[in-house]
């Protein structure tokens, strides 16, 4: 009898708990509604990646062609170049950009004067609020061959001006460095918040034991923010293939296209400019599947190595 009535009693208790805390579940409704309406319902449109989409026939009337769009992308001359550029740019941004907010947060945490810390935080946060269009324009202005400040400095030092935006080998460094400058301060906020949650008694005990600032950073600060850093690293790895479209597109030109053509810009040109909706959907779906695989892989590795994971 105990076995028979165990599950109904537990279910009844769960229902009672929901009714008792109904206010909390009401708070969840807007978020659930948002994800259902704008994230899950539109997924039915993914089917056009497996169809020869014809506008007048719609989603359901267009003929199925299976994996023909994927095969077309894999066999195209652009496949390896766009994949290489997307992975190269994403990995470079991840390896160079991810540690910077951590380093900045650790540095700001060591500043004892509150006024100077606030001024420094405001200064490093400000670039985040510059729009992508303005940022791309600033890059072009600063790197202009004749009037750009960078080339003026190069000329003053006796060097020859460099057409940075016209050389494919310069595209990735410029993209990554400008992203680091723009977003490092904003991304450091979460690490600063994690540092403030570390008990002050640990610092006081370390000072009593004679620990230097470097030792306090190594043995208190870094272990304290490690769980946050691992979770953010997993999320960033899961977005490796989702490098920003707007900035890459705005910084792209005919001279650097070999290095700047990524999957996001390729999908835009194929889907919106050339009206190849089925083909561009297949390319976008391939991109999302790679991200999903990387997310699960990174989460599994992190769970085995550090016992910290998203789920």
Per-residue pLDDT band at 2 (split at 50, 70, 90) = very low
pTM to 2 decimal places: 0.84
Q: The tokens of 242 are what? A: 């989702």
d(CA 116, CA 145): 37
Per-residue pLDDT for 12 more than 70? Answer: no
- In degrees and rounded to multiples of 5, residue 307 shows phi and psi of 60, 25
d(CA 66, CA 176): 38
Sign of CA dihedral 302, 305, 308, 311: positive
Per-residue pLDDT for 93 more than 70? Answer: yes
| pLDDT tens column, 222-252 | 999 999 999 999 988 888 888 878 899 999 9
Domains, in order of start, for the chain: 1-44 (no CATH), 79-306 (1.10.3720.10)
Per-residue pLDDT band at 23 (split at 50, 70, 90) = confident
Sign of CA dihedral 248, 253, 256, 261: positive
Asked if 247 and 135 touch (Cβ cutoff 8 Å), the reply is yes
Q: Write down the pLDDT at residue 6.
A: 46
Average pLDDT score over residue span 285-304: 89
Per-residue pLDDT for 13 more than 90? Answer: no
Per-residue pLDDT band at 21 (split at 50, 70, 90) = confident
As a residue count, the chain comes to 311
Per-residue pLDDT band at 58 (split at 50, 70, 90) = confident
Q: Write down the pLDDT at residue 244.
A: 77
Per-residue pLDDT for 9 more than 80? Answer: no
Q: Write down the pLDDT at residue 17.
A: 80
Residue 182 CB partners (closer than 8 Å, separation 6+): 127, 128, 130, 135
| pLDDT tens column, 65-86 | 999 999 999 999 999 999 999 9
Q: Left (φ > 0), alpha (ψ -120 to 50) or beta: where does 246 sit?
A: alpha
Q: Taking all residues of the chain, what is their mean pLDDT, rounded to a whole number?
A: 88
Q: Write down the pLDDT at residue 306.
A: 82
């Amino acid at each position: 009898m105990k076995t028979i009535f165990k599950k109904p009693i537990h279910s009844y208790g769960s229902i009672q708990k929901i009714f008792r805390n109904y206010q909390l579940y009401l708070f969840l409704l807007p978020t659930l509604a948002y994800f259902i309406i704008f994230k899950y319902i539109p997924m039915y449109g993914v089917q056009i990646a497996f169809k020869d989409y014809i506008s007048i026939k719609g989603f359901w009337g267009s003929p199925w062609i299976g994996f023909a769009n994927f095969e077309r992308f894999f066999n195209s001359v652009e496949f390896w170049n766009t994949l290489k550029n997307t992975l190269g740019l994403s990995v470079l941004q991840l390896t160079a950009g991810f540690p910077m907010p951590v380093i900045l947060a650790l540095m700001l945490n060591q500043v004892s004067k509150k006024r100077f810390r606030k001024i420094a935080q405001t200064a490093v946060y400000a670039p985040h609020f510059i729009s992508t269009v303005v940022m791309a324009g600033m890059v072009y202005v600063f790197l202009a061959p004749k009037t750009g400040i960078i080339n003026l400095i190069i000329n003053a030092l006796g060097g020859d001006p460099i057409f940075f935006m016209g050389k494919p080998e310069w595209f990735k460094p410029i993209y990554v460095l400008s992203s680091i400058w723009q977003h490092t301060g904003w991304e450091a906020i979460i690490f600063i918040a994690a540092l403030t949650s570390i008990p002050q008694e640990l610092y006081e005990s370390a000072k009593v034991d004679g620990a230097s600032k470097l030792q306090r950073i190594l043995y208190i600060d870094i272990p304290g923010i490690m769980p946050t850093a691992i979770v953010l690293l997993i999320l960033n790895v899961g977005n490796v293939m989702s490098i920003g479209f707007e900035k890459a597109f705005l910084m792209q030109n005919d001279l650097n296209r070999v290095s700047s053509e990524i999957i996001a810009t390729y999908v835009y040109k194929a889907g919106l400019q050339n009206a190849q909706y089925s083909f561009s959907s297949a390319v976008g779906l391939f991109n999302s599947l790679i991200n999903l695989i990387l997310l699960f892989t990174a989460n599994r590795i992190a769970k085995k190595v550090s016992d910290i994971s998203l789920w």
